Structure 1
């Protein structure tokens, strides 16, 4: 009698046939052993939460087991893997068949308590249309809060390192461009200087030949060319005329030309001559000449004393060029 009971219960233990989407997950689990939830969900053609819920139901029924993924050498979290638990029938089929069967062992009424029975399988009425027990408390979350916080910390560290690397690369690129610009400017200066010196050498040679030939006209023209050539050389070399400091001559930069003092009274008088019928204040002339109003006012006073300009009105003082009959 005991033999018949075991024979009848064995097929029931071996049978595990989920329905609906759970059946797809069960087939994908068999086809992809030791796979992650993402892989199983893609193979079953379902969403990841649906696959997670189905796998949790399989684990509760003793038909699936989850293995923690652990971490890599760099501390990166690996996904957990899932595998199906072989059924009793499949385990018996894989085991070698003994030629002798002990009849007394079949009459043993004791049944292992850890063997799943039909009572362990959830009732169909307690399942939803996916074939998995409607127990959301058994669903294992895909990622814990600790894992999420750890990922955020790792991402923050990675971003900080990336920003440092990008800043370093940008600084190196700017330095390289600066060096390239300086090298190009130097090459351009050398080329311009060589051309200017060549033209100057040609002018000196021509002028020297005119001197030997006693050609006064050619000699005068050559001197003008030499003077212009020296100016071109200074511009090409980005230097100004030599400045004498005691017994030592130094060369200044081209910026010195902008700040070099120049006579102001001729410019003020020229402006008045251009507008003989108008009278100007010092501020008005200063804006045109881009000089200080105080310096222009002093120049106007001097021109008035010399009879080259005349004061037309006061408060503010307005000047105009002196007319010939008033001179």
Structure 2
């Protein structure tokens, strides 16, 4: 009969000394009696198949007993449990006492007729329990949340870094453009001044054009940082300048164009592209002059005044 690797013992319980991985499983089994394969494997620090193989060998050697788990009150299958046998002889399921079998028996030998493979019988112990599954899912949810937070933080840092790099690059470009514009202007002034001293009229005239162009370039790059703000301010000023055009005739014409409708100052201002305050003043003046009438308040609505003979 072949020797079972990792298990060496004589006929007494005190002399049962498994070796290698089997020794770890035996120590875990004796330390945690009435435990499942999962618990024994975790305690021994081995895989479940390895623990199952060792426990099956212990059972065949008469050193371990497997108890079916049955089912819980909810009908869920419970894992089988294992317990060590620390006696000089073993009692089988029929209550018959047998001496401890030869430990040199091969645990992996094919089972005889009418027997069941222990690894197959204990396959339910490898199934994960519901509490363990819930714990794993909770841990995974926490891990995902932490990972998402870390990714969001890294992305924000990267966007901030890119923004800072873009601002630094834009500032460096602006400085370089200003230096070039000033250097070109200085070169034009120097060349033109030299032409003046040599009484070179043609070079002097050409130099003056270069000075005018260079000065324009300097003004352009000097105002680059305020370009957007200047554009927005200038557009509003342009609207104010157009306000010098008479407004009341345009407001009266709009009311006459729609005699059955009443308008707010803001509505007419959008149509005429004028300020709502100026339109409101024009409507008040038209109402005092009898050219318009106030038909409602909050907001004030005006319509064209009806002719007296209407």
- Scaled by the length of structure 1, the TM-score of the pair is 0.41
Which of 1 and 2 has greater Rg? 1
- Scaled by the length of structure 2, the TM-score of the pair is 0.43
